[in-house]
Structure 1
Amino acid sequence: MRRRSKIPEIYVTLLLILMYLPILVVVVYSFNDTKLFSWEGFTFSWYQKLLHNRNIITAFFNSLELAALSSLSASVLGTVGAVGIAGRHFRGRGALENLSLIPIMVPEIILGMAYLAFFSFLRLPFGMLTLVLAHTTFCVPYIFINVKARLAGLDPAIGEAARDLGASAPRAFFDITLPLIAPSILSGALLAFAMSMDDVVISFFATGAQTSTLPLQIYSMLKMGVTPEINALCTLMLGAVFLIVAVGRLVSARRQRRA
């Protein structure tokens, strides 16, 4: 028998190390008793300082609010757009679909400058409002792509059967179509949430002096040096993500057992 090559296993192992070693370093140094990258002892002091740092805490909750509002509004707009285009063949449909993907194809620096010029032209006060508008714009394509792909795989006869049985168009959508595309909406919304939480460039151009997001706060701290408080915050966020994933896996496993 031919011996199986170990190159794939080695490659995957090296890839996982490169992906997760930096994260492990961040977690470890959040407990380091010094700002330097040399181990001086174990401590929880950076977590205590983090809880008393109003700038970081405020920026973190601003980012959560911004990501929640932008992903929610983008989910509505993206879903409506995908449902409106699906199943309809008209002249210029391809151009319209390509146009809807421009926000994720154009470099962020160009989008940021465009938002700055547009909001200045409208004389909108820069702050949470302009941030939500800007983030919603570049988050819409993530929901639009997912929902459109899901709708393409659905049998249109399902909705037509509901209409034949007397259901109105809105009821057929909310009772039949919406539950079927809900997982796609949720996956797109989660991706949009993550992209909004992570954005720096567009937020830099669309924010005001009184509103700061977590990425912008960390970016501003680079001039004076980032303290391990950021490591502590990253560790807490990682723990929250792992907890949510674990709970989701448990719920999914229980549903499979019941089925």
Structure 2
Amino acid sequence: MATGTHIDNSSRTKGGSAGGSPAPAGGSPALAPLRRLRRHAVVLAGAASLLYLLLPNVVVMLFSFNKPAGRFNYDWRAFSTDAWTDPCGVADMCGSLGLSLQIAVLSTLVATAFGTFAAFALARYRFRGKGTGNALIFLPMAMPEVVMGASLGTLFLNTRVAFGFVTILIAHIMFCLSFVVVAVKARVMSMDPRLEEAARDLYAGPVQTFLRVTLPLAAPGIAAGAMLSFALSFDDFIITQFNAGPSTVTFPMFVWGAAQRGVPVQVNVIGTAMFLIAVAIVLGGQIAAGRRRRQA
């Protein structure tokens, strides 16, 4: 009986193998591309989003080497490096660029300092009005820039403050402060307080603990807030337009005015240079962080 059963099973197995084709181990070959696409869908979506974000920068970089036939740099004519060899060839452009850099640097320094103090206070201390303070911090980010710019302009006008460099600087500090607070606060809340307790247990004073432990741990958040503040201040137009004087022209205001007559190629050169500098700073930070991780 056992032998007969074995023969029947074998015959059924052979018949099944002979009568029908075995299913492949990985499923139908026709569905293999679909399965690969599904496995890499997140990577492809991220790459497409990054390409979409970088495409305008690539266009600006490409047209910085263009030699337009007229005033408008919209059509590719011929390859030329004239704009790169003479980036200040357009009148008043480098002056407005220098003004924007001054305002961006000063507003970044002030906003980063005050924003760091506010972030530590909101993240680590309990006091009356803390909830209101958190809500007020988000208002400049949620409020349209045109509302904030018009409100500040009305304030300066009613207090008879002369419009110019100082009014733009105050407006940019107020605008950038919220972004610094949010960036630094997120970093401070993720820090392990036991590290600072260990430093105090090892007889480190308050100043030494802050300089040797707290500040290095919070440095990535502070650096992120500072870079974001600089970028927002440098390319801001709406708030600056409401608070600039008649003789104060920043680089975004110069570009807006030049666009009505024809944007010079040098604008693309400045934009490309700023983009490459930003990429170099980010890559430098990533390389330094990777080296520290390998050494640790």
TM-score bracket for this pair, using the shorter chain length = 0.7 to 0.9
SS of corresponding position for 1:101:
helix
How far apart, in 1, do the equivalents of 2:178 and 2:63 lie? Answer: 37
SS of corresponding position for 2:127:
coil
Residue 238 of structure 1 corresponds to: 275
Structure 1 position 20 matched with structure 2 position 72 = no
Of 34, 37, 58 in structure 2, the residue corresponding to residue 6 of structure 1 is: 37
Of 150, 165, 169 in structure 2, the residue corresponding to residue 128 of structure 1 is: 165
How far apart, in 1, do the equivalents of 2:290 and 2:125 lie? Answer: 38
Q: Deviation string for 1:18-66 (max 9, x for gaps)?
A: 3333322222222222145333221122334532224111111111111
Task: From the superposition, tell whether residues 90 and 37 of structure 1 become closer, same or farther in structure 2 (CA, over 3 Å).
Answer: closer
Contact 2:63 2:73 in 1 (8 A): no
How far apart, in 2, do the equivalents of 1:27 and 1:175 lie? Answer: 42
Contact 2:64 2:272 in 1 (8 A): yes
Q: Which has the higher contact order (CA 8 A, sep 6+)?
A: 1
How far apart, in 2, do the equivalents of 1:54 and 1:82 lie? Answer: 42
Count of aligned positions? 259
Residue 64 of structure 2 corresponds to: 30
Residue 183 of structure 2 corresponds to: 146
How far apart, in 2, do the equivalents of 1:234 and 1:172 lie? Answer: 41
SS of corresponding position for 1:6:
helix
Q: Which runs of 5+ in 2 are unaligned?
A: 1-25
More deviation, 123-132/9-18: 9-18
Contact 2:88 2:266 in 1 (8 A): no
- Give the TM-score normalised by structure 1: 0.87
Deviation at 1:17, TM superposition (A): 4.0
Residue 71 of structure 1 corresponds to: 108
Deviation at 1:251, TM superposition (A): 3.4
Instruction: Letter of the 1:18 partner, please give it.
Output: Y
Residue 212 of structure 2 corresponds to: 175
Q: Deviation string for 1:104-159 (max 9, x for gaps)?
A: 11110110011111122332222221111111111111121122222222333444
Deviation at 1:75, TM superposition (A): 0.9
How far apart, in 2, do the equivalents of 1:217 and 1:209 lie? Answer: 13
Residue 152 of structure 2 corresponds to: 115
Q: Deviation string for 1:52-106 (max 9, x for gaps)?
A: 2241111111111111111111111111112223332234321211112211111
Cα RMSD, aligned residues only: 2.5
Structure 1 position 208 matched with structure 2 position 245 = yes
More deviation, 125-134/7-16: 7-16
Identity of aligned residues (%): 34
Instruction: Letter of the 1:20 partner, please give it.
Output: L
Q: Which runs of 5+ in 1 are unaligned?
A: none
How far apart, in 2, do the equivalents of 1:158 and 1:236 lie? Answer: 41
How far apart, in 2, do the equivalents of 1:15 and 1:113 lie? Answer: 34
Contact 2:163 2:243 in 1 (8 A): yes
Q: Deviation string for 1:184-242 (max 9, x for gaps)?
A: 11111111111111211001111112222111110111221212221222222223333
Of structures 1 and 2, the larger Rg is shown by 2
Task: From the superposition, tell whether residues 28 and 80 of structure 1 become closer, same or farther in structure 2 (CA, over 3 Å).
Answer: same
1:151-170 equivalences in 2 (<5 Å) = 151-163=188-200, 167-170=204-207
Task: From the superposition, tell whether residues 204 and 253 of structure 1 become closer, same or farther in structure 2 (CA, over 3 Å).
Answer: same
Residue 9 of structure 2 corresponds to: none
How far apart, in 2, do the equivalents of 1:15 and 1:85 lie? Answer: 34
Structure 1 position 224 matched with structure 2 position 257 = no
